[in-house]
Amino acid sequence: MPMIRVEMYEGRTPEQKRALVRALTDAFVETAGGTPDAVQIVLTDVARGDWAAAGILASDK
């Protein structure tokens, strides 16, 4: 059973998350095969203060 993990900044609405998981599921099934029932997705909301790139917190940009 495939597992897709998505880490993203917090703040998306439930409607946006619903659309995202539907699109990810459809894309996986279309490109890799399988059935939608087999696709598992975990969304993790991360605060900008807990995300950094190039030594800089996203909240400081």
- The active-site residue out of 1, 2, 26, 45 is 2
Would you list the DSSP string of 43-57?
Answer: EEEE-GGG-EETTEE
Judge whether 2 counts as a catalytic residue: yes
CB 47 within 8 A of CB 8: no
Residues that are catalytic? 2
